[in-house]
Amino acid sequence: MGKEKVVLIDTSSWIEALRLTGSPDIRNEVENLMIDGRAAWCDMVAVELWNGARGAYERQKLSELEDEIICLETTPEVWQTARLLAQRCREAGQTVPSADLVITACALANNAEIEHCDNHIDLILKVHRGEKRKN
């Protein structure tokens, strides 16, 4: 059996996992990925989390995570992929947040799965796969 893929955990899932009142299912998934050594983020996710950190508990958790979590590099390829995804989303009639484009592009460029609870990422992935939008 081959090595399991790293999973880029999106900001949306980190928020659920870090909040005391967050989703137990997402908290368990994130915890399991961390235990397995497969949990990753990218600089865009870290910036979003630090930007939204409220209180000493969340700041403490983020500081601890910075030493434990794999950080996927945001390379020129990631930025190029993000621009292409933005163009494809616009052609599909959708405007999505730039941060979600970069996070998704980072996962794609690193052949990582994405753990998220964000409809924008679902939309970006559908556009990436060439799926038509259902109304």
Looking at per-residue pLDDT, the higher value among 61 and 45 belongs to: 45
Task: Please tell me the predicted confidence (pLDDT) of residue 115.
Answer: 97
What is the average pLDDT across 69-79?
96
Distance of CA 12 to the CA centre of its chain: 7
What is the average pLDDT across 78-94?
96
CA dihedral 15, 52, 42, 116 (to 10 degrees): 30
Q: How far apart are CA 15 and CA 48, in angstroms?
A: 10
pLDDT tens-digit series, residues 2-44? 568 999 999 999 989 888 888 999 999 999 999 999 999 999 9
pLDDT tens-digit series, residues 43-58? 999 999 999 988 898 8
For the chain, list the domains and their CATH numbers: 7-129 (3.40.50.1010)
Q: Is 108 helix (H, G, I), strand (E, B) or coil?
A: helix
